[in-house]
Chains A and B, each alone.
Chain A
Amino acid sequence: MARRKADWSILRGTLVGFALCVVTAGAMLASSLYFKQRMELEYRGHHSRFRDASQQYLAVDEEERIIDESYPDFVRLYRSGLIGRERRLSWIEALRNAGAAIRIPDLGYKLEPQRDWRPDLDLALGSYELKSSTMHLTLGLLHEGDLLALLERLERDAQGQFTVRSCEIRAQDGALTLDPQAVNIHANCALEWLTLGLRDDRELTL
C-alpha cells in the first residue's frame, strides 16, 4: 500500500467554521466590552459630578463661616497692598516721608522689576502666586538707630509687606560727628516687597 500524504482538505470546512466562530466570538466580546467600558466611563463622569455637587452643597455652611471670619481680613490685606497689585508709589512715598521725618542725611533707592518669588519656607500657595520687588537702599546715617527707625516707619506707612534680605552697615572713618546732617554710618540694605496675586496674571479686584 503506497503511502499517501495526509488529506487536510477534510478540515477545510471545519477550520473555516472555527475561524468564523473565533471572529464572531471576538467581535461579540470586543463590542460588549466597548459598550460596558463606555457606559462605565459615563457613569464615573456623572458620579464624579454628583459627588462634587453634593460636596459643594454640603460645604456651603463652611463657606459662609469662612466669609464671615476671613473675608474682612482679606479685604484689609487687599487694601493694605499685600493682596492684588503692588503699590510702588506708596512704598516710595513712604520712604521719602520717613527719610524726611527722621532727617536722614543721605537716602538713595533702586527698585527692581517685580518677579516670581519662591520662599524658602514650605508654603501651600494653591491658586495664588507670590511676587517680589527688590528695593536696594543706600543710606548715609547719623547713627544705626536711624536705620531701624526708617524700617519701622516703612512697615507702618507703606502699602505692602517687606522683609529685609541683607544689610551692610559700615562706620565712617574718623571721629564721630554730632551734627544732625553729618554722616557717621553708611548702610546698604536689600528689601523684598512681597505681593500675593492670582495665578496666570489674573486680575484680583474687590
Chain B
Amino acid sequence: MISLLKSTFSEAAMRVLLVGGERAILYLFEEGQLAQAYIFTADEIGFAAFRRALGDLAPAPLCVLVDVVEEEYRQETIPHVGGADRRAVIERKYARLFRGTPYRTALFQGRETDERRDDRLLLTAITRPELLTPWLEALIEHKVPVVGIYSLPILSQRLLKRIGATAPNVLLISLHKASGLRQTFFRDGHIKISRLAHMPRLGSVPFAAHLMGELEKLRRYLNSLAFVAQDSPLNIYILSHGELLGELEQHCQDSDDEKFFLVDVDDAARSLGLKSAGDSHYADVIFTRLLLDGPPPQSYAQAEETQFYALHRMRIGLSIAGLVLLLASAGWSGFNFIEGVIFKEQALDAEQKAAFYRERFEMARSKLPATPVEPRAIESAVDIIETLHRHRSTPAPLLALLSQVLDARPAIRLQQISWRSSMSPPEAVSGQQPPGSGLAPQGERAAAPLHYQIAELDARLTPFDGDYRRAIEAIDDFTAALVARPGVTAVEVLQYPLDVRSSASVSGSTSELRDRLNATFKLKLTVGVRDGSQEG
C-alpha cells in the first residue's frame, strides 16, 4: 500500500526510513513531532513510489532504521587490545561470522571477569544486504544525506531507562507496522538476543494469545542459552495501546520467574516528548523518535552511503564558516572604522591646536630681533668657535719650555726641531733609554690634555773633548730636566752620540783629531696641552 502526500517538508526537518522485510515507512518530523509518514511496499511499485517521494522532498538528513528478521547477533570475546589491533581482530571475526555482507557492527558490552579480562562484544550484521539495496540506491540516486543505517533492536536499548526497565533481566516486546512482533532480551542493560516474529493482521487472530505463544517460544530459547540470571525474575515489558492492553492484562499473570509490565505506547511517546503516537498500538514512532535524539555510534552504513551526509555537513560547515567570517569581518571592520573616525576627530583637533600655537608663536617671535640663523644655531656657533679656540695649537709653549731648560745647559746646541700637534699621544719608539727619560710621573698625567705637542730634537754637545761617558751623562741630565718640567708627558732619546747597545756595532779611532770629534744626539719630547696652553 502506498500512501503519498504532497510534501510540505521543510529543509530543517528530520527524517527516518524504517525498513522492514516487506515494507518501509518514511517518517517526517518537524520540530520533534511526527508530521507525516509514508509507507512503501518492498516491491517495484513501492521502490518507484519511494523514488518519486524522494524527488518531491527537499534534501534533508535521513536516518535508516532497520528492523528485519535477517539480522544476526553473536556474543564474542576478544583480547583487550586497542587501535589497529582491535580493528584487525574484529575484522577477522566479521570475516568468519558474517561473510558476504558489508552491513555489520560491534557493541562493546563490558569485560570478562576472569584473569584475561577479555572484552565482551556483541557482533551484529544484516545477513541479507539485498533487503536494503533498493532503498539505499534510491537514496543515493537522489543524493539524500544518509546519516547512518541503524538497528532497531540495538536502538531499543535506549528505551529501557525511559520506561524504567532497569532490572537485570528485561524482555522488551513491541509491535511494529513495518516488520512485526519484536522481542529483545537485555541482560544488565546490554542487548543479548532479539527475535522478530511475523504478526498476523490484527483482528484475524486473538492478539494476546498469539503474543503469549511467541513469548513462550523465546522463553524456551533463552532458557536453552542460559541468558537469564537465575537470582532475578524476567521482567517483561510489552508496548501496546488501547483494547490490546486490556486483552493483555488478562493473560499476563506475574509469577516468581516472570513479571509483566504493560506500557502504553502513547505514554512512552509522551515520555520522549511526542504529543501522541497516533493512537496506535504500533511502537514504530517511538523508536524513530529515539533516533532523532542522536544517532548511536554503531552504524551499518558504508562510506559511499553516507557520502552525501558528509557533503551536507561540509556544506553546513562552510555556510557557518562563511557567515562567521562575514560577521567577524563586519565586526572588525566596524571597529576599524570607528577607530578611523576617532583618529579623524583627533586629527582635526590637533590641526586646530597647531594653528593656534603657530599664531601665538609668530606673535611672540615678531617681538624678538631678527637674526641670520635660528637662536639655537647662534648659541651652537659660539660654542663651536670657543671649542676650537681651546684646542688651537702653537709651538710657543714647547719652545718656551725648551728655552728654560737649555738656559742652564749652554753646552747643548739645538740644530733642528720638528714640531707637530696631535690629538692623541705618540706611540713610543724604541731607542736608548737614559735613566731620566721615559714617561713623566703619574700625577702629572692624571688630567688628560686637550691635545699633544710632539717635537723631535736634533742637538749636539759643544765643546766636545771625546769623553762619551760625560756626554751621555749630560744628555741624560738634559732629558731628566725635561721630564721634570710640568706638562711634559714623555721624553725619549732616539739617538746618543755613541750607540752603546750590545746589539749595535761601534767604530772609531783613538787617534782622531779632537776638533773633528762630534757628539750629536736626537730625542723626542711630548708635551700635553690643556686649554690652549702648556699643561700644568
Task: Using CB atoms and an 8 Å cutoff, list the residues of chain A in contact with chain B.
Answer: 1, 3-4, 6-8, 10-11, 14-15, 17-18, 20-22, 24-26, 28-29, 31-33, 35-36, 38-40, 42-43, 45-47, 49-50, 52-54, 56-57, 60, 62-64, 66-67, 69-71, 73-74, 77, 82-83, 119-121, 123-128, 130, 144, 147-148, 151-152, 155, 161-171, 189, 194, 196, 198, 204-206
Complex CA gap A11/B347 in Å reads: 48
Q: Report whether A46 and B354 are in contact in the complex, using a CB–CB cutoff of 8 Å.
A: yes
* Distance from B521 Cβ to chain A, minimum over Cβ atoms (Å): 15
Q: Report whether A126 and B377 are in contact in the complex, using a CB–CB cutoff of 8 Å.
A: yes
The answer to whether B404 has its CB under 8 Å from any CB of chain A is no
Q: Report whether B311 and A123 are in contact in the complex, using a CB–CB cutoff of 8 Å.
A: no
A-B CB pair tally, cutoff 8 Å: 259
Complex CA gap A119/B451 in Å reads: 12
Q: Report whether A50 and B137 are in contact in the complex, using a CB–CB cutoff of 8 Å.
A: no
Q: Report whether A25 and B329 are in contact in the complex, using a CB–CB cutoff of 8 Å.
A: yes
Dominant secondary structure of chain A at its interface with chain B:
helix
**Which B-chain residue is minimally distant from A7 (CB atoms)?**
B143
**Which B-chain residue is minimally distant from A74 (CB atoms)?**
B378
CB contact list, B332-352 vs A, under 8 A: 332-334, 336-337, 339-341, 343-344, 346-348, 350-351
Residue among B133, B330, B337, B350 making CB contact with A50, cutoff 8 Å: B350
**Which B-chain residue is minimally distant from A61 (CB atoms)?**
B364
For A205, the chain B residues whose CB sits under 8 A away are: 372
Q: Report whether B143 and A67 are in contact in the complex, using a CB–CB cutoff of 8 Å.
A: no
The answer to whether B392 has its CB under 8 Å from any CB of chain A is yes
Residue among A64, A120, A198 making CB contact with B373, cutoff 8 Å: A198
Q: Report whether A50 and B351 are in contact in the complex, using a CB–CB cutoff of 8 Å.
A: yes
The answer to whether B435 has its CB under 8 Å from any CB of chain A is no
Q: Top 6 nearest A-B pairs by Cβ distance?
A: A25-B329, A21-B322, A32-B336, A32-B333, A120-B423, A39-B343
* Distance from A99 Cβ to chain B, minimum over Cβ atoms (Å): 17
Q: Report whether A11 and B314 are in contact in the complex, using a CB–CB cutoff of 8 Å.
A: yes
Complex CA gap A32/B368 in Å reads: 48
**Which B-chain residue is minimally distant from A67 (CB atoms)?**
B375
Q: Report whether B385 and A168 are in contact in the complex, using a CB–CB cutoff of 8 Å.
A: no
For A119, the chain B residues whose CB sits under 8 A away are: 388, 391
Complex CA gap A164/B336 in Å reads: 66
Residues of chain B at interface, number, CB under 8 A: 86
Residue among B341, B372, B382, B416 making CB contact with A171, cutoff 8 Å: B416
Given known contacts A74-B382, A166-B420, A170-B416, A63 and B368 CB-to-CB distance under 8 angstroms = yes
**Which A-chain residue is minimally distant from B395 (CB atoms)?**
A167
Given known contacts A43-B346, A43-B347, A168-B419, A123 and B384 CB-to-CB distance under 8 angstroms = yes
Complex CA gap A66/B451 in Å reads: 30
Complex CA gap A71/B341 in Å reads: 48
Q: Report whether A1 and B136 are in contact in the complex, using a CB–CB cutoff of 8 Å.
A: yes
The answer to whether B517 has its CB under 8 Å from any CB of chain A is no
Complex CA gap A31/B377 in Å reads: 46
Q: Report whether B377 and A127 are in contact in the complex, using a CB–CB cutoff of 8 Å.
A: yes
CB contact list, B411-458 vs A, under 8 A: 413-421, 423-424, 450-451
The answer to whether B276 has its CB under 8 Å from any CB of chain A is no
* Distance from A65 Cβ to chain B, minimum over Cβ atoms (Å): 9
Residue among A42, A70, A121 making CB contact with B379, cutoff 8 Å: A70
Q: Report whether A25 and B328 are in contact in the complex, using a CB–CB cutoff of 8 Å.
A: yes
Complex CA gap A65/B387 in Å reads: 21
Q: Knowing that A25-B328, A63-B365, A167-B420 are A-B contacts, what are 12 other residue pairs whose CB atoms are under 8 Å apart, sorted by A's residue number? A: A1-B140, A11-B314, A35-B340, A54-B357, A70-B382, A74-B381, A119-B391, A121-B387, A127-B377, A127-B380, A130-B388, A168-B418
Task: Using CB atoms and an 8 Å cutoff, list the residues of chain B in contact with chain A.
Answer: 133, 136-137, 140, 143, 304, 307-308, 311-312, 314-315, 318-319, 321-323, 325-326, 328-330, 332-334, 336-337, 339-341, 343-344, 346-348, 350-351, 353-355, 357-358, 360-361, 364-365, 368-369, 371-382, 384-385, 387-389, 391-396, 399-400, 413-421, 423-424, 450-451
For B450, the chain A residues whose CB sits under 8 A away are: 121
**Which B-chain residue is minimally distant from A55 (CB atoms)?**
B357
Complex CA gap A43/B350 in Å reads: 7
Complex CA gap A56/B312 in Å reads: 69
Given known contacts A1-B133, A53-B361, A21 and B326 CB-to-CB distance under 8 angstroms = yes
Complex CA gap A164/B382 in Å reads: 21
For B332, the chain A residues whose CB sits under 8 A away are: 29, 32
For A17, the chain B residues whose CB sits under 8 A away are: 318-319, 322
For A29, the chain B residues whose CB sits under 8 A away are: 329, 332-333, 336
Q: Report whether A83 and B388 are in contact in the complex, using a CB–CB cutoff of 8 Å.
A: no
Residue among A57, A126, A127 making CB contact with B364, cutoff 8 Å: A57
* Distance from A151 Cβ to chain B, minimum over Cβ atoms (Å): 6
Complex CA gap A21/B33 in Å reads: 35
Q: Report whether A164 and B391 are in contact in the complex, using a CB–CB cutoff of 8 Å.
A: no
For A170, the chain B residues whose CB sits under 8 A away are: 415-417
For B368, the chain A residues whose CB sits under 8 A away are: 60, 63-64, 67
Complex CA gap A170/B358 in Å reads: 65
Q: Report whether B379 and A166 are in contact in the complex, using a CB–CB cutoff of 8 Å.
A: no
Residue among B343, B365, B388, B419 making CB contact with A169, cutoff 8 Å: B419
* Distance from B386 Cβ to chain A, minimum over Cβ atoms (Å): 9
**Which A-chain residue is minimally distant from B397 (CB atoms)?**
A148
Q: Report whether A166 and B419 are in contact in the complex, using a CB–CB cutoff of 8 Å.
A: yes
**Which B-chain residue is minimally distant from A149 (CB atoms)?**
B396
* Distance from A124 Cβ to chain B, minimum over Cβ atoms (Å): 7
The contact sample of 7 A-B pairs, CB cut-off 8 A, is A7-B308, A42-B347, A70-B375, A83-B381, A128-B384, A165-B393, A167-B417
For A194, the chain B residues whose CB sits under 8 A away are: 388
Complex CA gap A128/B385 in Å reads: 11
For A3, the chain B residues whose CB sits under 8 A away are: 304
Complex CA gap A125/B321 in Å reads: 62
For A204, the chain B residues whose CB sits under 8 A away are: 372-373
Complex CA gap A67/B387 in Å reads: 20
* Distance from A59 Cβ to chain B, minimum over Cβ atoms (Å): 8
For A46, the chain B residues whose CB sits under 8 A away are: 347-348, 350-351, 354
Complex CA gap A22/B415 in Å reads: 93
Q: Report whether A148 and B421 are in contact in the complex, using a CB–CB cutoff of 8 Å.
A: no
* Distance from B110 Cβ to chain A, minimum over Cβ atoms (Å): 35
For A45, the chain B residues whose CB sits under 8 A away are: 347
Q: Which of A7, A53, A121, A194 has the most CB of B within 10 A?
A: A53
